[in-house]
Amino acid sequence: MIRSAVVSDIPVIHAMIRELAAYEKVPHEARATEEQLREALFGERPAAFAHVALTPEGEAVGFSLWFLSFSTWRGVHGIYLEDLYVRPGVRGGGYGKSLLRELARICGERGYERLEWAVLKWNEPSIAFYEAVGARPQDEWSVYRLTDGALAELGAS
């Protein structure tokens, strides 16, 4: 079962974010706190949204965290999927596909024309999964990022 996250899901979402960071070999980069997640997802002006995947017994075993994007070329919103994670013990059980299906359903319902995300080039299991549901890499684009000192330096210049 897939449902929208609720405030009481914050601790398990936070734990899974840390698990994802460890899987991606950068556990030190997962610095978000539960309070930051609570504010981002459920504050006065939510900046992001989340869904959780539940076993038949009601245990949260996966999540998606996303926010709205906007295409100037298409003139409509889309969804940018920041994180999709399913705990290792239940991978292959359809939870990841169900989470993506829910986001695709939301896109269709709201007239959004894109569902996009990034995947690490070495993450072959995820790449195979995404391609199996019809996603295609955007090889002509490279992702750039400013953080920490470089971000502060540019902002101060």
Tens of each residue's pLDDT in the chain, 157 residues: 999 999 999 999 999 999 999 999 999 999 999 999 999 999 999 999 999 999 999 999 999 999 999 999 999 999 999 999 999 999 999 999 999 999 999 999 999 999 999 999 999 999 999 999 999 999 888 888 888 899 999 999 9
Given a contact cutoff of 8 angstroms between Cβ atoms, the answer to whether 48 and 30 are in contact is no
In one-letter notation, the amino acid at residue 153 is E
- Which residues are annotated as catalytic? 130
Nearest to residue 138, comparing CAs of 113, 121, 126, 122? 121
Backbone φ and ψ for 53, nearest 5 degrees, come out as -100, 130
pLDDT at residue 147, as a whole number: 86
CB 86 within 8 A of CB 52: no
Q: What's phi and psi for 44, nearest 5 deg?
A: -60, -40
Determine contact, residues 29/22, Cβ cutoff 8 Å: no
The per-type count for the chain, helices as H runs and strands as E runs, is: 5, 5
* Burial class of residue 119 in the structure, from the number of CB atoms within 10 Å of its CB (0-12 exposed, 13-18 middle, 19+ buried): middle
In whole angstroms, give the CA distance from residue 106 to residue 79.
Answer: 9
> What distance in Å separates the CA atoms of residue 113 and residue 65, rounded to the nearest whole number?
18
pTM for the whole thing? 0.92
